[in-house]
A and B are shown apart, each in its own frame.
Chain A
Amino acid sequence: MQSINEISEELIEDFELFDDWADKYEYIISLGKELPSMDDADKVEDNIVKGCQSQVWLKAKQEGDKVVFEADSDAIITKGIIALLVKVFNGQEAKEIVNNDLAFIDQIGLKEHLSPNRSNGLVAMVKKMKTYALVYSNN
């Protein structure tokens, strides 16, 4: 399995190919459409990450020293960014997740989507992902 850094580098390269915002967003939208939806049964209170603008659900499981994530959103762009985050962090070591500074999001040019004032649930989701990773890394 590729490391977090390897996957991040690939993503940054992919995004560098885009000339304008429309191409970038079309790509994110297609990622969002491709990401499998979470089972309705999993869209429960415990898994909700609340944002003002869009709903986000996150499920996490520990597998050895790795963390497995599943996530979904009712907004497609949010879901597309979730797909990126899942690509990078899913199945990685808990410790690596805790220590990652998400600089790749900045380098892809999606920093505004992760700013607190977006209130789209993403900031809270990343926090929750890291919290899960922290808890699992201590187990």
Chain B
Amino acid sequence: MANVKSIAELRADFPILSRKINGKPLVYLDNGASAQKPSIVIDRVSDYYKVENANIHRGVHTLSQEATSAYEEARRKIQKYINAPLEEEVIFTKGTTDGINLVANGFTRGILKKGDEVIISEMEHHSNIVPWQMACEYTGAVLKVAPINDAGELIMSEFKALLNANTKLVSITHVSNTLGTINPVKEIIELSHANGTPVLLDGAQSVPHMKVDVAELDCDFYAISGHKMFGPTGVGVLYGKKEWLDKLPPYQGGGDMIKSVSFEKTVYNDLPHKFEAGTPNIAGGIGLGAAVDYLEELDWKAIHIHEEELLAHATTEIKKIEGIRIVGTAKNKAGVLSFVHEKAHHYDIGTIIDQLGIAIRTGHHCTEPLMNRCNVTGTARASFAFYNTKEEVDLFIAALKRALNMLL
């Protein structure tokens, strides 16, 4: 790998980090919602539109071939990055939500029958709950929910007990966006496979913090959002094992996903195009390839240590503040610190520290059932990326203290 950059050098790669908010330097701690983009990604998207833009897979002219080449090269980059065995197992989507809906749609039309079961967990994001509710409503299948303990960890004995002969799919988040919990996905996959059940992992919050190896995990589906892994918005990836993607019917109909069309019979295309109808977010896909290039150069060991230190520092400092309760205290966490205060409302906290340039997220984080489980109406959440610093954490804590002074 190329020269190892310091955090300061990495920060310089992200133009937005030098912005001022309300006259104060931006302290961006909302990476769980969306990550910032390095210049290499911004420039790649811009250059695509300046020099290469044309529709892909359809043309014979040079521009079209260049665009297609760049797009398919991005697919191969992503394949290599997540260690997917086959190129055609990497489907471009609009994001994690789109990827999960693709699988849910396929299961609705091709797999699930009345009485079948789908297991999700209590900590899931709405995008990994609602598509399955819809699938179960339509097919008569039953949604089972694996419970968590008070620390926000899956209770593995309860999960095991839910697996039975009717379980057709387990769909679980790799890392919780609200709690930061890293789930024991290898164990979940082993148990599920032993039960003959495939597993979909929601990888929206994991990929920004770690290298993921889908072959080693042996997951059947892995859904990723481009914009959370420092790539453009509106693009993502669904990895699916070929045997599963072949089983599922196409998600959307249209151009590109067909081999031939007539009013008597239409023949669908092979993977990956079978699941890629219409003109995709070409610039987004190519930009995501550039993001992968950027991430490949990082020292992930060093980043892991840095992020652990950030989270530990933030956790230690916030615990010193009277009235604060941390929501999500799993033994294994990545990049997320959610908290509530016994008297101050999360909305008030977020509003005031925004005036000081600190960006966090407040509310239910699209995990309403989890909020009910944790007995809160919402939390304030600071979510980190490798470009955040200890100094930023200190600014956040100082702002939080000031906000509490004003509110109490």
A residues whose Cβ falls under 8 Å from a Cβ of B: 21-22, 25-26, 29, 52-55, 74-78, 113, 119-120
Contact = CB atoms under 8 A, between A and B. Distances in A.
B355 interface: yes
B348 A75 contact: yes
B32 to A, nearest CB: 16
Contacts of B351: 25, 77, 113
A78 B363 CA distance: 14
B363 to A, nearest CB: 5
Contacts, number: 43
Given A52-B364, A53-B363, A76-B407, A25 B355 contact: yes
Contacts of B345: 54, 74-76
A120 B407 contact: no
Nearest to A20: B355
Contacts of B344: 76
Contact of B406 (A26, A53, A74, A119): A26
Interface centre among B344, B345, B377 (most CB of A within 10 A): B345
Contacts of A75: 345-348
B348 A119 contact: no
Contacts of A120: 347
11 contacts: A25-B352, A29-B348, A53-B347, A53-B350, A53-B362, A53-B378, A54-B347, A74-B345, A75-B348, A76-B344, A76-B345
Given A52-B364, A77-B347, A120-B347, A21 B406 contact: no
Interface in B354-408: 355, 362-364, 377-378, 406-407
A22 B347 contact: no
Bin chain B's interface residue count. Answer: 10 to 19
Given A22-B406, A25-B355, A78-B347, A52 B363 contact: yes
A74 B341 CA distance: 13
Nearest to A32: B348
Interface of B: 22, 344-348, 350-352, 355, 362-364, 377-378, 406-407
A22 B402 CA distance: 10
Nearest to A52: B363
B328 to A, nearest CB: 19
B355 A74 contact: no
Q: Which of A25, A52, A75, A113 has the most CB of B within 10 A?
A: A75
- A25, A55, A78 pick with most chain B CB within 10 angstroms: A25
Contacts of A53: 346-347, 350, 362-363, 378
Closest 3 CB pairs of A and B: A75-B345, A75-B347, A53-B347
Contact of B355 (A21, A54, A76): A21
Contacts of A119: 363
A55 B377 contact: yes
Contacts of B377: 55, 74
B407 A29 contact: yes
A50 to B, nearest CB: 11
A78 B351 CA distance: 10
> Looking at B344, B348, B351, B378, which has the most chain A CB atoms within 10 Å of its CB?
B348
Contacts of A26: 406
Contacts of A54: 345, 347
A55 B362 CA distance: 13
A105 to B, nearest CB: 15
B348 A76 contact: yes
A21 B22 contact: yes
A25 B406 contact: yes
A125 B350 CA distance: 21
A68 to B, nearest CB: 26
Nearest to B22: A21
Contacts of B348: 29, 75-78
Contacts of B407: 29, 76
Nearest to B361: A53
Contacts of A22: 355, 406
Contacts of A76: 344-345, 348, 407
Contacts of A55: 377
